[in-house]
Amino acid sequence: MRNIKNISKSIVVLLGITMLLSCENSIKEVQNITKTDQSPILSGEDVEFIFTDSTRIKYRAFAVEFTQIKTEDTQYDEFQKGGKIISYEKDGSIAGEIKANYAKHFVKDELWELRNNVVAVSDDGKTINTELMYWNQGKGLIYSDQYVRITTDDGQVLEGNSFSSDDKMNRIVLKKVQGEVYLNDETEQ
């Protein structure tokens, strides 16, 4: 009887030791589970951001849903359900507007990535439609390497496979252009 009790105790002790030894985790596994590299540090719904320079409003951004992510390498603001950005001239008038169904703003690089049904409108009535557009705020450039459709204020439509422009859309460069251009008929004098 005593032998059976000792055997039972030995089995319980062996099972306990086995369980303790099998619960070992590596430090890397624990760090991977608990790391917060991609965790949002700020989020919100129906938000408005105002970007200023010496108390002058330069841009206003509106978003249905907003998340700010900070990693060791970068910080970006993500607008998962899209929104719009309005830029202003020094006198306070609207210089242009960009809308998209998705946007990401890389803070350090001053770069916006706009995707899905992107529409940019200048103050003089030019409209750019594309599925992907980048806006480099620091350099004052907008560009894309995807199909683009540009409609001028007088109704002319130009299409191309890529474009680049200043962010006021005054100097637009299209590549592989197609479309209709209307010229004035000045044969009568």
Sequential DSSP letters for 41-74: EEEEEEEEEEEEETTEEEEEEEEEEEEEEE-SS-
User: pTM value?
Assistant: 0.69
H or E segment at 32? Answer: helix 27-34
pLDDT tens per residue across span 7-48: 666 676 666 666 555 555 555 555 555 555 555 677 778 888
CATH class of 38-180: mainly beta
Q: Between 2 and 90, whose confidence is greater? A: 90
pLDDT tens per residue across span 63-75: 889 888 888 778 8
SS3 92: coil
pLDDT at 125: 87
pLDDT tens per residue across span 122-177: 888 899 999 999 999 889 899 999 999 988 888 888 888 888 988 888 888 888 77
Alpha helices in the chain (DSSP H): 2-22, 27-34
Q: Tell me the chain's radius of gyration from C-alpha atoms.
A: 29
Q: Between 174 and 115, whose confidence is greater? A: 115
* Lowest mean pLDDT, pick from 57-71, 93-107, 142-156, 173-187: 173-187
Taking 50 as the threshold, does the pLDDT of residue 189 lie above it? no
pLDDT at 158: 85
The residue among 110, 131, 104, 124 whose CA lies nearest residue 171 is 124
H or E segment at 72? Answer: none
The residue among 126, 134, 180 whose CA lies nearest residue 154 is 126
Contacts of 182 (CB under 8 A, 6+ apart): 154, 155, 156
